[in-house]
């Protein structure tokens, strides 16, 4: 099940991005997955829960957007959606399509964060005062 290693690398990438916002909690991660990335959505959801458990991302929702395969025809310039890679023939002009222009994606589209309670402006952050004995 390669979804587990994918989930783990998403957790890692999101944790890195979220590090720029100290104290913020990740609530939602949106993912774009191409139909050719050979990912089973349910399996990835399941693995996401496992991979995020015990990390700052625990409880964050993973929203997976599945993208259909889109093939581009060089002959007539058409972009068309296909069910599988068996038919790479352009439905408009019948030429063999040049290449797959969408379908292999596996990328983090966005991350939603919950801001921590309003922090004091950093400039005025006082050092802890030690009580005089
Ligand atoms: Zn065509």
Q: For residue 67, how far is its CA from the centre of ligand 1 (angstroms)?
A: 21
Residue 76 lies in a domain: no
Whether 38 is in a domain gets the answer yes
User: Is the entire prediction scored with pTM above 0.75?
Assistant: no
Residues whose CB is less than 8 angstroms from the CB of residue 73 and which lie 6 or more positions away in sequence, other chains included? 79, 80, 90, 92, 93, 95, 97, 98
CATH number (domain holding residue 107):
3.30.2320.50
In a domain, 51, yes or no: yes
Ligand 1 centroid from CA 70, angstroms:
13
* Residue 54's pLDDT band (cuts 50, 70, 90): very high
Centroid of ligand 1 to alpha carbon of 98 (angstroms):
9
> In angstroms, what is the span from residue 115 Cα to ligand 1's centroid?
49
Q: How far is the CA of 77 from the centre of ligand 1 (A)?
A: 6
* Least confident window among 17-26, 30-39, 76-85: 76-85
């Amino acid at each position: 099940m390669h979804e587990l290693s994918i989930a783990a690398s998403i957790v890692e990438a999101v944790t890195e991005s979220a590090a720029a916002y100290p104290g913020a909690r990740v609530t939602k991660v949106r993912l774009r997955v191409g139909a050719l990335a050979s990912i089973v959505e349910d399996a990835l959801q399941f693995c996401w829960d496992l991979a995020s458990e015990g990390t700052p991302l625990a409880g964050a929702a993973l929203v997976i957007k599945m993208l259909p395969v889109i093939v581009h025809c060089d002959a007539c310039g058409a972009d068309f959606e296909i069910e599988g890679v068996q038919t790479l023939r352009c439905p408009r002009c019948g030429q063999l399509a040049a290449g797959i222009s969408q379908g292999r994606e596996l990328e983090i589209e966005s991350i939603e964060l919950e801001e921590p309670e309003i922090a004091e402006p950093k400039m005025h952050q006082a050092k802890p005062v030690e009580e005089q004995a």
